[in-house]
Structures are given as C-alpha cells and as structure tokens.
Structure 1
Amino acid sequence: MLGRARLLSVVATILAGALGVISSTQTWVVVTLADGAAHTVDVAGAAAIPVLAPLSLATLALGAALSIVGLLLRWVFGVLTLVIAVALGILTSLAAFATPVAAYAASVTSTTGITGTDAVAALVSSATTTPWPYVTLVAWVVLLAAGIMTLATATRWGGTGRRYRTDAGAAGAASRPRDAVDSWDDLSRGSDPTA
C-alpha cells in the first residue's frame, strides 16, 4: 500500500480537481420564478459557488506538482489539499442541502434584473437541487482522503529520480566520451574546455 501511496494521492487529487472543474459548468440548481409564467433559471456550479472553478484548477495543479516535489513541498501541498477540501466541502454542502438564496441570486438577477436578497427570495417559488452538488461533495471527500494520505505517507515516498536533478547530466557525461556538445556545455557553465 505504501508503495502506491504517491500514485493514489496524485491520482485522487487530480481526479477530484477535474471533477470540480467539470462540475462548475453543470447545472446545480433549477430555480422556478413566481412570475406567473413559472420561468426557470438554471444555476451552474460556478454561479452557486464562485470559487469552485479557481480552487478546482488549483487542485489540479497541486496534484500534478505533487508527483515531482520533495518532502517539504509534499507537506505544504498536503496541508493545502486539506484546506481546499474542507473549504469546498463546506460550501458544496451548503449549496446541496440548504440552497441559500446567495447560491442563485446572481443568476436570477442576471435573468430578471431584480437585485437584493429579499427581492430575489420573493420572486423565487422553488429551488430544486440537481445531483451535481452531491457528486461534487463526494469528490471533496476523496480530496480530503488524498490530503490525509499525502501527509501520512510523505516521508516514505521515494525520490523524484535523477531526471529532475541538475547534477544528473554532469554525472552521465563523465561516464561517456566527450563530444562537441559537452564542450559547448562547459562554455555555458563558464569553464574553458581548451584549458
């Protein structure tokens, strides 16, 4: 299990972030207006929670970077993952279970031109939540688990390998015959290959 901890943490973080980005474009709430014609307004996830798309993109970046960082940044990224998971979990829970007027007020205002929380609440006859907030809430639970796993196993992950180290090229060059490219590299480093 510990051998796969890095892979599981990275994949879970990236998948949660991707689902958050997708969810931000989907309809979360369908609002029916009490205007006589019972018009409906579809409220996207990004309108219900304005920070959903930016924090989901940040989660994607954290997941991608988590695959190559060292120990200190693993700890930092693990804590950031937990903070994002808790913040988005709370906001998504409010949108899913309570459906406050603030979640759909901007969409109703842009459709009708009526502003103010009380005026919007008086105009809305019902607000129905779609499955998307609940699916997204599951993604934040997975993200929370990924953050906990990152913090719990960060010290046991292997190194990133020679390909990300700056001294790897010099060690590889010493084991083979020198060519013109090596001479140019020496010049780039400031040493004279003819000396």
Structure 2
Amino acid sequence: MIARARVLSVVVIVLCGAIGVMSSTQVWLHVRLDGAAAHDLTVTGAAAVPVLAPLSLAVLALGVALSIVGTVLRYVFGAIALAIGAVQAYLATVVAFEHPTSVIARTVTDATGISGDAAVSRLVARVTATAWPAITIAVWVVLCAIAVFVLVTARRWKSGGRKYRTDASAPATAGPLDAVDSWDHLSRGEDPTAGDAPR
C-alpha cells in the first residue's frame, strides 16, 4: 500500500483539481426573476465561487509537484491541499444550500441593470441549484481525505528518482553517460566528458 501511496495521492489530487476546473464552467444555479423582468438566468460555478477556478488550478499544480518533492514539502503540500479542500467545500455548501443573494447579484445586475442586494432580492422569485454544487462538495471532501492520507503516509514514501537529485555529493555513474546523466553533471557545474579523455 505504501509503495503505491505516492501514485494514489498524485492521481486523486490531480483528478480533484481537474473536476474543480470543469465545475467552474458549469451551471450551478438557475435564477427565476419576477415582475416585468420575468425570465430565467444561469449562474456558473466561477460566478458563484470566484476562487473556484484559481484554487482548482492550484490543486492541479500541487498534485503534479507532489510526485517529485521530498518529505518536508509533502507535509507542506498535504496541509495546503487540506486547507484548499476545506475552504472550497464550505463555499460550495453555502451556494448549494443557502443561495445567498451576493452570489447571484452580479448576474442579475448584468441582465437587468438593477443593483444592490435588497433590490436584487426583491426581483428574484426562485433560485434552484443543479447537481454541480453537490458534485463539487464531494470532490473537495475527497481532496481533504487524500490530503490527510498524504500527511499520514508521507514519511514512508520512496524518495524521488535520480534525475531530481542535484546535490554535489551524488555518486558518479559508472559506464557510459546517458542524456540525463550528462545534464545532471552540467547542472552541478561538472564536465560530463572529463572522464573520457585518453590516458
């Protein structure tokens, strides 16, 4: 299980970030206006939760980076993922169950020219949520769970591969150098062809 912990964590975190980005483009709320302006409006995830898309992209980047970092950064990234998941889950829950006027105000104002929470609230007859807020809440709960898993198992993960080690004390490779070995030598300020000179 521990041998697969890194792969499992990276895949789940990246998947959560991808679904979060996709969710930001989907319709979260249907708004029915009353009176002379009676018609239906839609509110996307990005409009309902402005931080949804940027934080989802951050989760994507965090998941990819988690595949190569050392032990200390695993804990840092795990804590960040847990914080993002908790904040996003809370915001999505508020939108899904409370439908606050502040979430729909901009969409209504753009459509009608009427501004102010009180005026918008009087104009709105009904607000209904689609399945996307609930889906997004589930995604962020999963992210919180996998972040806790990272924090619990991070110390037992295998270290990253040789191509991510740039310390000067790395042992020299015996035999012919491949492209990765040559690049590692160059990045340490060494001449990869120095040992090839004829004696």
The TM-score range, normalised by the shorter chain, is 0.7 to 0.9
Correspondences of 1:7-156 after superposition (within 5 Å) = 7-36=7-36, 38-156=38-156
**Runs in 1 of length 4+ with deviation above 6 angstroms?**
none
Structure-1 residue corresponding to 2:172: 171
Is 2:85–2:140's contact at 8 Å kept on the other side of the alignment?
Answer: yes
Structure-1 separation of matches of 2:136 and 2:33: 26
Structure-1 separation of matches of 2:38 and 2:14: 40
Task: Look up the equivalent residue of 1:64 and give its one-letter code.
Answer: V
Instruction: Give the direction of change, closer, same or farther, for the CA distance of 1:189–1:2 in structure 2 (3 Å limit).
Output: closer
Is 2:37–2:112's contact at 8 Å kept on the other side of the alignment?
Answer: no
Task: Look up the equivalent residue of 2:175 and give its one-letter code.
Answer: R
Deviation of the 1:162 alpha carbon: 0.7
Which stretches in structure 2 are left out of the alignment for 5+ residues? Answer: none
| Number of matched pairs | 187
Tell me the alpha carbon deviations over residues 125-151 of structure 1, each in whole angstroms, 9 at most, x when there is no partner: 000100000001110011001100000
Q: Secondary structure at the match of 2:35?
A: coil
TM-score normalised by L of structure 1: 0.88
TM-score normalised by L of structure 2: 0.86
Deviation of the 1:25 alpha carbon: 0.3
Instruction: Give the direction of change, closer, same or farther, for the CA distance of 1:3–1:176 in structure 2 (3 Å limit).
Output: closer
Deviation of the 1:38 alpha carbon: 2.7
Structure-2 separation of matches of 1:177 and 1:64: 31
Structure-2 separation of matches of 1:177 and 1:144: 46
Deviation of the 1:176 alpha carbon: 2.4
Tell me the alpha carbon deviations over residues 151-170 of structure 1, each in whole angstroms, 9 at most, x when there is no partner: 00000000001121125987
Structure-2 separation of matches of 1:123 and 1:104: 11
More moved, 6-15 vs 83-92: 6-15
Task: Look up the equivalent residue of 1:89 and give its one-letter code.
Answer: A
Structure-1 separation of matches of 2:176 and 2:106: 67
**Aligned residues: CA RMSD:** 2.4
Structure-2 separation of matches of 1:70 and 1:118: 52
Task: Look up the equivalent residue of 2:4 and give its one-letter code.
Answer: R
More moved, 62-71 vs 32-41: 32-41
Instruction: Give the direction of change, closer, same or farther, for the CA distance of 1:70–1:125 in structure 2 (3 Å limit).
Output: same
